[in-house]
Amino acid sequence: MYIAIAGNIGSGKTTLTEMLTERYGAKAYLENIDNPYLGDFYEDMHRWSFNLQARFLASRIEQTMAMLAENTDLHIIQDRTIYEDAHIFAGNLHEMGLMSTRDIETYMQIFRLVTNLVQKPDLLIYLKASVPTLVKQIHKRGRDYEMNIDVAYLERLNKKYNQWIEELYEGRVLVVEKDTEDFVADPAVFERICAEVDRLDVQKKLF
């Protein structure tokens, strides 16, 4: 079963991926944050936006194709999806005037070609968090290149995420309200997530 974890920067995607991987003996595919354009991007978003997103898209394409090509009976847990790169991050940069129309059209052309060839997740878990919650987690984990992220930028991403989940994404979604549902501190929240995974797993085996 293919499970994907979606959410804004600092929402807890990697933590939940690790917890589910341990719970189910699953195979995890973590977000590759090794992007040589990240530091430059946070210093000058307009100059480096297309380079950053093209590199992330290439990495996500490579990971997703390899992941789905594997013949395994294990659950697959993916930290961030290929859809977020396009609908959230690239789309937001274009709306902010930080990516040209020419660049976004080129980017989306590649994205559409690829996503027509890959399977959607059986379950998408969306970690929905307010900006204060995101900022608190970003500061807690202490990545240097994230320390100066603009709060307004996080707010715009949140709006894009909510629009994507509510209006665009076609698939099964479980929403976790991170402001009040802490799956690390509260075992009951994690068990609720696992119950949904178990329910879907049973359905897949029956049909």
**What average pLDDT is seen over the chain?**
90
What lies within 8 Å, CB to CB, of 164 at 6+ separation is 83, 84, 87, 88
The CATH number assigned to the domain with range 2-206 reads 3.40.50.300
- Three-state SS at 77: strand
Confirm whether pTM is higher than 0.75.
yes
182 is catalytic: no
Tell me the per-residue pLDDT of 148-202, one tens digit each, with 9 for 90 and over: 788 898 999 999 999 999 998 989 999 999 999 999 999 999 999 999 999 988 8
- pLDDT band at 206, cuts 50/70/90? low
- pLDDT band at 207, cuts 50/70/90? low
Looking at 85, 144, 179, 198, which residue is catalytic? 85
What percentage of the chain has pLDDT greater than the value 90?
65
In this prediction, residues 68-89 reach a mean pLDDT of 87
Token digits of residue 145: 């290149």
In this prediction, residues 96-108 reach a mean pLDDT of 94
- pLDDT band at 71, cuts 50/70/90? low
Tell me the per-residue pLDDT of 106-116, one tens digit each, with 9 for 90 and over: 999 999 998 88
CA atoms of 133 and 17, how far apart (whole Å): 19
| pLDDT attached to residue 114 | 86
